[in-house]
Structure formats: structure tokens, C-alpha cells
Copies of this chain bind each other. A is one copy, B any other.
Amino acid sequence: MNNQLFNYLLHLADNTLILSHRNSEWCGHGPVLEQDIAITNISLDLLGQARNFYQYAAMLTGNNATEDSLAYLRTEREFKNLLLVEQPNGDWAATILRQFFFSTYQELLYKQLIQCNDAQVAAIAEKGLKEVTYHVRWSSEWVIRLGDGTEESRDRMMVAADELWRFTGEMFIPADYEKEAGISGFGVNVESMQQDWLKKVEAIFEEATLPMPGAAGYMQRGGKEGTHTEHLGYILAAMQYLQRTYPGCEW
């Protein structure tokens, strides 16, 4: 098995699983019923993508691995998701902005993955892209609505931007497996996407009348290689509790 492909798949899967997890925390607690449904929908879409990637990774690695063993039986240092997606929900502004940053990235990524030389990855990306296109539209609209809404919503968006911006750079600093993905062609070297991402973010921020966060800001990294923020441990403690407590059971 190609170990870098395996790591790459875990990275793609972990990103979507952990953001799905965060979004699902809103379920039943959203600010408007329609938006409770929308954010839960995104959570479901991302979970579906995660399952596709995990299933493929499990097939590749063999060893009786399953989507569940990969999601529920790895520890914090083995998770490869971006720091961005594990950040706490905060208020609706932070949730929206996290989604916008990530979906915009994901749209660019999946558009390229469709053309990669791994048919399975390409197929998952193609299916996911339809969903992600909607996520970008939905979150863009909300960024604009909140940025150009009331004074309070605007302030909250700026606080959210200040809080989350430092986690965006990691998306475009390739881990080893991403470099290999670009070279071997089973995926994408993310460096190339940064300019397009910035352009899109700038356009939406402008429409939202929001100032762009300081582009020179220092960027946090480490998630892709398993060095996370202190938040991930708590996510996994809850998420994995049943599998850890009753090992080897069917549910």
C-alpha cells in the first residue's frame, strides 16, 4: 500500500469528520430553525465525505480496518485534520466564517481532485463538489449578511476573523503526503491554490464590507502532522467514548 496516499486520505477524511462534528454541535441549538437545518445539512454532507475517504483508506490498508476503526480508534496525535476545523464553534459568526474559509478551500481542492490520477479519489471529490459548491454559496451569503448587517454582527465577524485567520495558512502549507500527492498525482499540492483562495475571500469580504485580516499575520500549523490545539482531545474523548468503552462491538 502507498503509505502517503493512506495518510492523504486520512487527512481528507479527518478534516471533514471533525468539521462535521463541530457543525453537528449546533443541531437543535441554531439561531433560526431554517439555519439549524442548513448547518446540520452541511454536517451531514461532510460526514458523508469523511466516510467515503475512510472507507477507501480502510480498503487500501487492509488489516481489518474499517471506516469506524479509523475514526474511532486513532488517538489525537494520529489525527491529521487542519487546526481550523477543530476550533470551537464560538458564536454563529465564528461558525459561519470557519465554514466559509474551509468550504472555499475545499471547493478549489475538489475541483482539482476530480482530475487526479486516482479514480476513487476523483469520484469522491466529484460527488462532494456538488455539496461543497452549495456550502460555499451558503456561507458566503452569511458572511455578507453578517458583515453588512448590524453593527453588532459586523463586530462579531471581525472578532471571528481575528480569531480564525491564523488557522487559515495551514491549508496551503503542504505536509509530506500532500507534496507526494502532487508529485505522484493522486492528489493536489495545496500551495498552488492559495492565490485563488485569497482572491475569493477578498471578494466576499469586500461585498461584506469587512476589512481583510492582516495578510502578514503569523500562521499556526501542525494539525496535518498530528500536532493539534488543545480542543481536539475533548472532541475525541466524547466521540470515541463508546467504542473505547465497549471494544469490538457491533452497533
Q: List residues of chain A with CB under 8 Å of any chain B CB.
A: 75, 234, 236-238, 240-241, 244-245, 247
How distant is A28 from chain B, measured CB to nearest CB, in Å?
A: 13
In the assembled complex, the Cα of A237 lies from the Cα of B243 at a distance in Å of 11
How distant is A235 from chain B, measured CB to nearest CB, in Å?
A: 11
Give chain A's interface secondary structure class: helix
On chain B, the residues within 8 Å of A247 by CB distance are 247
How distant is A221 from chain B, measured CB to nearest CB, in Å?
A: 26
Closest to A236 in B: B241
On chain B, the residues within 8 Å of A237 by CB distance are 237-238, 241
Number of copies: 2
How distant is A246 from chain B, measured CB to nearest CB, in Å?
A: 9
Closest 10 CB pairs of A and B: A244-B244, A237-B241, A237-B238, A244-B245, A237-B237, A234-B238, A75-B245, A241-B241, A241-B244, A240-B245
Closest to A237 in B: B241
In the assembled complex, the Cα of A238 lies from the Cα of B239 at a distance in Å of 10
How distant is A111 from chain B, measured CB to nearest CB, in Å?
A: 38
On chain B, the residues within 8 Å of A236 by CB distance are 241
In the assembled complex, the Cα of A241 lies from the Cα of B238 at a distance in Å of 8
On chain B, the residues within 8 Å of A234 by CB distance are 238
In the assembled complex, the Cα of A75 lies from the Cα of B236 at a distance in Å of 18
Closest to A238 in B: B237
Query: Would you mind naming 14 contact pairs between A and B with Cβ atoms under 8 Å apart?
Result: A75-B245, A234-B238, A236-B241, A237-B237, A237-B238, A237-B241, A238-B238, A240-B241, A240-B245, A241-B241, A241-B244, A244-B244, A244-B245, A247-B247
